[in-house]
Amino acid sequence: MTIDFDHAHALDAADPLAPMRDRFHLPEGVIYLDGNSLGPLPRATVARQKNMLERQWGDGLIRSWNDADWIGAPERIGGKIARLIGAKPHEVLIADSVSVNIFKLLVAAAQLSPDRPQILSEAGNFHTDLHIASGAAELLPNQRLDVVERSAIEDAIGGETNIALLTHVHYKTAERFDMAALTAQARDAGARVLWDLSHSVGAVPLDLNGCGAELAVGCGYKYLNGGPGAPAFLYVAESLQDRLVSPLCGWFGHARPFAFEDAYEPAPGITRFQAGTPPMLAMDALEGGIASFDGVEMDTVWAKSVQLFDLFARLAERYCEQLTCVSPTDPDRRGSHISFRFDHAYELTQALIARGIIGDFRAPDIIRFGLTPLYLRHEDIVRAVAAMAKILAEESWRDPRFAERGRVT
């Protein structure tokens, strides 16, 4: 089997994002197709972290809370994410994890409409979203969690709906909700939507303000390249900020954190959604990851994502007929990864990794590839599909070592 590389080489030669690849540390001999799960290390982050460790922490010590503006990092870095999601800088805050931020915003927003008993989400949503929503519903009086199929969300939003927790781009299939339409429908019904942007930010163009979105969360370690376990972010529309009170009333969310007052008074604006002391090493790495997008427009990123998807889908359909693509072909209905169903998806994923092609597996039968335009080449897609076709043709995925599972799959 021979796959023609000429078309891929022509696309790479004309790629306006080609110089961005040099911003990342990419191991020799590896094609990295898992940036939708963990972004690679930006080269500039190494120097940033060295400065943070040796100068800001090592020499500056506790003085760096003021001298290096550690205290302002959650708002400052949030403001840098704002341009990637179509928000105002003072509407975005870096804090905690996606799970914690879902809890904070879900509980705070649900308390605005206690007479509406329904928290709504979708079956097959990323499971932490459902677990957090279930826990929140149990804690809140007169609230229940209703879970319906993704295709039934539109019909399920109604007079009882308090808040819908929706993942904008589905983590398995890459299917994308129409944010503007669902936000408008919820608003017309007197409800709100909390959007999970974990597979959207840095991957697809977003316009939260333009869509009328009020609440959102997202992670920093996927397309934003902020490092493993990077802090998450939350978005609260300016008009809603001072109406919400976080259920986690930590001292960094206090109006006067260094007055050491017993009684809690929430800070004005987005700052009230902080809780504990920010993790500054991780904050710094996240800021470095976001800097990977400096000078880059999301429309350019998305245009290349569409090219990468179309190339991958076309080649896989031709050379990997054992796989079934489960991602929408319409670019307006999907995010920036492509997923296939295969009964032995885990073994196939491991066989690819053994060849230096890193995608990932999602139980029970999905193999998933992140299409990350800042550093992926079209040539990488062709090489990945060629390797996968060879593995499938030879059935080398049947090697028993590829069925062995670690704690992380």
Instruction: Point out the residues that are catalytic.
Output: 126, 196, 221-222, 368
Which residues are CB-neighbours of 342 under 8 A, at least 6 positions away? Answer: 322, 323, 324, 348, 365, 367
C-alpha to C-alpha distance for 165 and 106, rounded to whole angstroms: 8
Tokens representing 17? 């994002």
Burial level of 262, CB count in 10 A (0-12/13-18/19+)?
exposed
Burial level of 305, CB count in 10 A (0-12/13-18/19+)?
buried
Q: Among candidates 239, 273, 238, which has minimal Cα distance to 108?
A: 273
Residues 5-18 as b or e (16 or more Cβ within 10 Å = b): eeebeebbeebebe
Residue that is written with structure tokens 């509407």 in the block: 91
C-alpha to C-alpha distance for 375 and 135, rounded to whole angstroms: 39
From residue 400, how far is each of 122, 271, 347, 394, 404 by CA, in Å?
36, 52, 9, 14, 7
Residue 120 in contact with residue 156, Cβ under 8 Å? yes
From residue 31, how far is each of 45, 273, 372, 383 by CA, in Å?
21, 39, 11, 8
C-alpha to C-alpha distance for 277 and 296, rounded to whole angstroms: 32
3-state secondary structure of 94: strand
C-alpha to C-alpha distance for 382 and 316, rounded to whole angstroms: 9
CB atoms within 10 A of CB 278: 21
The single-letter code of the amino acid at 195 is W
Residue 193 in contact with residue 212, Cβ under 8 Å? no
Tokens representing 261? 């007052």
Which residues are CB-neighbours of 105 under 8 A, at least 6 positions away? Answer: 194, 215, 217, 234, 236, 244, 273
